[in-house]
Every structure is written in structure tokens, then in C-alpha cells.
């Protein structure tokens, strides 16, 4: 599979363990972007001429593909955004700001990425909503039942990541969502699926979530493209945040009326070439098949957990077993700072992320300033883990651990 990714031909020695930050791109995605420019480039939804129609078809077909990708039948419920961050901001300021009131409670968790914390904090300032953070248990899993003290009728929104980008923990949405909907049938559920769509086949209709957000660049596609899914009735009431061309039906000197969904939320000229690449990424993932991806990744995760289990003086921040977990490993080597770990690993061409991973509240819960993080994806091999192990040994040697 590595052969499909040109970056590994450019750098044969590269051990890329930072896919939670962004994935590498297969040739098929690179070609789709390039081919868009060489044979389909025109502005969409505007031209009568063939080329514009071709670009429009590609864009709208990709919307249908994205809908199918997460089990949505009506593709008008798929809004193209710049990424999961923008999509979450749209839920916060386009929907929640309009609907939620002072004293309403939004439930988040301690394992959220800043993208699913900061917008809600800002909303708190303007609307007076309350935020509640679901705690973690000792196994780095979500203790989602710890909400006895919350008045259920006040809990209007649960906004939760499917998978922690730091711990690798997979939150059991098929249990969590019914748990909250039973307590308050009126609650809306927003799922940040940025870390899960690269690895799992999702079905929002089965999950019964109301909003779902993700980014193309973490699932082999180009950066600058993401998706907001929302139920149609929610999109109807939701306000657009960006105003301008293509999102209107009528404009007078005094006022304007909005186009139907999804156009209402897609003002200006969109990242059409990125959407072309995103479509190719969906095709590529389907072509490999999520069953195969999961089998491969599970084997890698088990192998990595064994490796970490053998290491003395290495602390793993995340579940120690492979069940309900993906190949994201945050770790610390004795008292060596994560930057120093990454520096030594980089000498062996091993790319890991260090720092707080855009999850500073989680770092505080873990009692650290930051961690080193190795995150795996479908192109990683056992050999990559062997190389990581050698790198960890090298760190220990350098720092006399």
C-alpha cells in the first residue's frame, strides 16, 4: 500500500507517524487535483459553458459521494467547509447561538481537541450557556455516565469527539448517544469525527447524531476541505456565517434572501480542486475497503501495544488494550522532554508530533505539559514500529535513562 503514496518514494527512509495531524496522499488524490486543473477547471454553479458544467458536476457528485461515505441519503445535508474546525464553528455560531439560551448546558469531554472547546467557550461569553466536561476514567476511557448532577432537561447539546487525537480512545457512540437521548429526547448531538472517518465506516443515520464534522486532509484528501453534516430541519433554521456570492436568491440594495441548503452555507468560490481530490480520497478508501483497513490497523495497534508494553521507563497515555482504540500512541520516556524525544527520532527519519496536540485541557488532566505522539494509518507497517522501538532505545541511550 505504501507504493500508492509518492512521499515514500521521495523519502524511502521516512517513518511517518503523524497521520493524526495530517495523512499522506495517494497518487490517485494527487492526480485528481492535477487533472481538475488540466481538464475541468472553471467556476461552478455559474457558467452555461461545458467546462463549468463539468466542474459543477464533479463538485456535486463529490457531495453525493461524501453523503454515501457517512450513510446519508439526501446529499443536501452535506455542507462543504474548509475543515472540521469551520464546521464546528458553524454549529456553534450558526445554530447554537440562535437556539440555545442562558443556562442551557453543553456537554463536552476532557479529551476534546481545541476545535471542540474554544468555539463553545466563546458562545458561553455571548449566550451564557454552561459547559460541562465529561471526565476520563483510569483506563483513559470516557466516564460518560458521570452526569447525575446535571439537570437533564437543561442539557441541550452533546458535542463529542468520536476518537481522541491524543489517547486513541474510541468513544462508544452507539452507547453514549442513546444514553443521552434517553435522558433528554430534545438533546442534539454533534460528533467531531475528524479522527474516526479515516479509520471506520460511519453511518450517521444509525448513529442517530444530529451534526457530524470531519476534514478531508486526515483521510487522504487535500487540506482546506471538510464536511458539516446536519439534519435537514437543523440546517433550515441554522444561519449562515459567511455572506456573499452564491448563497443568495435575491439581493436588493436593502437586503437579501438566502438560497436553499446546502448553497446557503457555501458563499464565495469554493475549493473546487480540493473537493475533486476529496472525492478521489473517498474512492480510494472504498477501493481498499474499510474491512481491510481495520484489520490491518488492528494488527498494527496490537503490535505497537506489545512494543510499548515491553519498554521500561516509557509511559503510555491511552488504553493498554486494542479494543475500542486506534493506533494513536501518546507517550513519555522517563523525564525526557517530548521535544528531545522528537529530535532524536527525527535523526532516524521518524516523524512524530510533540506538544499538547491542541488538547491543553487534556494535558492538564494527564498532569503533563505535552507528550510525544506516534499515530498510525493504513500505510504504516510493522517495520515502522520496529524503527520506532530502535528510536526509543536511542533516546534512552542519549539521556542515560
Residue 399 is a binding residue for another protein (CB under 8 A): yes
Phi first, then psi: give them for residue 101, nearest 5 degrees.
-125, 170
Q: Which of 54, 358, 365, 368 is catalytic?
A: 358
Nearest approach, Cβ of 345 to another protein (angstroms)?
Answer: 13
Nearest CB to another protein, comparing residues 226 and 370: 370
Query: 190 catalytic, yes or no?
Result: no
Nearest approach, Cβ of 400 to another protein (angstroms)?
Answer: 8
Nearest CB to another protein, comparing residues 381 and 398: 398
Interface with another protein in residues 86-115 (CB under 8 A): none
Provide the grid cell at 10.
521521495
Residue 369 is a binding residue for another protein (CB under 8 A): yes
C-beta separation of 281 from 4 below 8 A:
no
Nearest approach, Cβ of 355 to another protein (angstroms)?
Answer: 5
Among 45, 146, 315, 337, binds another protein (CB under 8 A): 337
Angle at 123 between CA 122 and CA 125, to 5 degrees: 65
Q: Report the distance separating Cα 176 and Cα 142, nearest Å.
A: 10
Nearest CB to another protein, comparing residues 184 and 398: 398
Nearest approach, Cβ of 281 to another protein (angstroms)?
Answer: 30
Residue 355 is a binding residue for another protein (CB under 8 A): yes
Among 83, 222, 262, 370, binds another protein (CB under 8 A): 370
Nearest approach, Cβ of 368 to another protein (angstroms)?
Answer: 8
Q: Report the distance separating Cα 317 and Cα 368, nearest Å.
A: 10
Applying CB under 8 A, the span of 74-82, 157-165, 305-313, 331-339 interacting with another protein comes to 331-339
Residue 400 is a binding residue for another protein (CB under 8 A): yes
Residue 363 is a binding residue for another protein (CB under 8 A): yes
Nearest CB to another protein, comparing residues 68 and 355: 355
Residue 340 is a binding residue for another protein (CB under 8 A): yes
Those residues with Cβ within 8 angstroms of residue 148's Cβ, 6 or more apart along the chain or in another chain: none
CA 256 to chain centroid: 34
Residues of the shown chain interacting with another protein in the complex, contacts defined by CB under 8 A: 336-340, 343, 354-356, 360, 363, 369-370, 398-400
- Residues designated as active site: 358
Amino acid at each position: 500500500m505504501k507504493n500508492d503514496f509518492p512521499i515514500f518514494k521521495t523519502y524511502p527512509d521516512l517513518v511517518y507517524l503523524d497521520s493524526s495531524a495530517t495523512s499522506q496522499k495517494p497518487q490517485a488524490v494527487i492526480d485528481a487535483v492535477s487533472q481538475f486543473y488540466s481538464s475541468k477547471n472553471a467556476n461552478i454553479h455559474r457558467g452555461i459553458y461545458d467546462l463549468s458544467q463539468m466542474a459543477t458536476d464533479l463538485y456535486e457528485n463529490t457531495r453525493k459521494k461524501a453523503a454515501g461515505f457517512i450513510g446519508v441519503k439526501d446529499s443536501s445535508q452535506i455542507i462543504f467547509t474548509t475543515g472540521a474546525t469551520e464546521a464546528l464553528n458553524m454549529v456553534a455560531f450558526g445554530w447554537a447561538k440562535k437556539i440555545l439560551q442562558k443556562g442551557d448546558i453543553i456537554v463536552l469531554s476532557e479529551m476534546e481537541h481545541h476545535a471542540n472547546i474554544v468555539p463553545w467557550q466563546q458562545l458561553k461569553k455571548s449566550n451564557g450557556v454552561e459547559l460541562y466536561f465529561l471526565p476520563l476514567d483510569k483506563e483513559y476511557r470516557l466516564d460518560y455516565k458521570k452526569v447525575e448532577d446535571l439537570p437533564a432537561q437543561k442539557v441541550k447539546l452533546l458535542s463529542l469527539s468520536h476518537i481522541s487525537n491524543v489517547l486513541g480512545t474510541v468513544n462508544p457512540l452507539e452507547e453514549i448517544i442513546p444514553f443521552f437521548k434517553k435522558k433528554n429526547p430534545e438533546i442534539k448531538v454533534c460528533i467531531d469525527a475528524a479522527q474516526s472517518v479515516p479509520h471506520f465506516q460511519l453511518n450517521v443515520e444509525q448513529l442517530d447524531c444530529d451534526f457530524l464534522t470531519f476534514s478531508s486532509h486526515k483521510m487522504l484528501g487535500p487540506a482546506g476541505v471538510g464536511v458539516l453534516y446536519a439534519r435537514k430541519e437543523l440546517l433550515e433554521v441554522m444561519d449562515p456565517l459567511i455572506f456573499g456570492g452564491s448563497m443568495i436568491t435575491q439581493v436588493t440594495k436593502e437586503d437579501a434572501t438566502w438560497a436553499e441548503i446546502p448553497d446557503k452555507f457555501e458563499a464565495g468560490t469554493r475549493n473546487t480542486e480540493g473537493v475533486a481530490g476529496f472525492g478521489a480520497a473517498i474512492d480510494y478508501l472504498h477501493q481498499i475497503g474499510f474491512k481491510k483497513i481495520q484489520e490491518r490497523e488492528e494488527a498494527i495497534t496490537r503490535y505497537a501495544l506489545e512494543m510499548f508494553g515491553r519498554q521500561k521507563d516509557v509511559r503510555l497515555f491511552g488504553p493498554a488494550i486494542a479494543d475500542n482504540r486506534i493506533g494513536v500512541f501518546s507517550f513519555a520516556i522517563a523525564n525526557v522532554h517530548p521535544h528531545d524525544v522528537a529530535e532524536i527520532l527525527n535523526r532516524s527519519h521518524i516523524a512524530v508530533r510533540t506538544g499538547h496536540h491542541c488538547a491543553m485541557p487534556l494535558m492538564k488532566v494527564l498532569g503533563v505539559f505535552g507528550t510525544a505522539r506516534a499515530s498510525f494509518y493504513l500505510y504504516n507497517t510493522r517495520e515502522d514500529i520496529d524503527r520506532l522501538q530502535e528510536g526509543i532505545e536511542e533516546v534512552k541511550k542519549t539521556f542515560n535513562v
